[in-house]
Amino acid sequence: MGEIFNTLIAYGHSIDDIKWKYTIDQVYFFFEKCKKMELDSLRENAMVTANSMLLSTPVYDKRDVSKRRMAWEKFIQTLTWGSLEKKAHKKTVGDFKNMFSRVGLKVRQKKKDSDS
């Protein structure tokens, strides 16, 4: 209980709100979200550190330099709102069909009984 209250207060919730305004479910819900935010932030920091280290190590091949730059730009792109929206977009049957046809797999439509 102490950890839950402490975490929520650290994130700016008032103790009176936690005690009197939020329902029990809401307290646990917000606590879970705060913890998830912390974990996400740690994960992002680890990724940034790893990518920065990779970018700063010396390379002797021009192709490697451009590969690295592209990887870095791709990584930075994942930190934008647009990519977050793209991730949240639910894939439709059409999207899956396009995905399979891009990799060269044919997607055939199931024959209806009336067709035969």
Where does this chain bind another protein (CB under 8 A)? 18-27, 29
CB of 11 to another protein, least distance (A): 16
Q: How far is the CB of 87 from another protein (least distance, A)?
A: 18
Phi, psi of 111 (to 5 degrees): -70, 135
Sign for the CA dihedral angle at 21, 27, 30, 35 comes to positive
Q: Which is nearer to another protein, 29 or 100 (CB)?
A: 29
Residue number, 22 or 75, with CB nearest to another protein = 22
Separation between Cα atoms, residue 35 and residue 8, nearest integer Å: 10
Minimum separation from the CB atom of position 25 to another protein (A): 5
Could you tell me the two tokens for 4?
């839950």
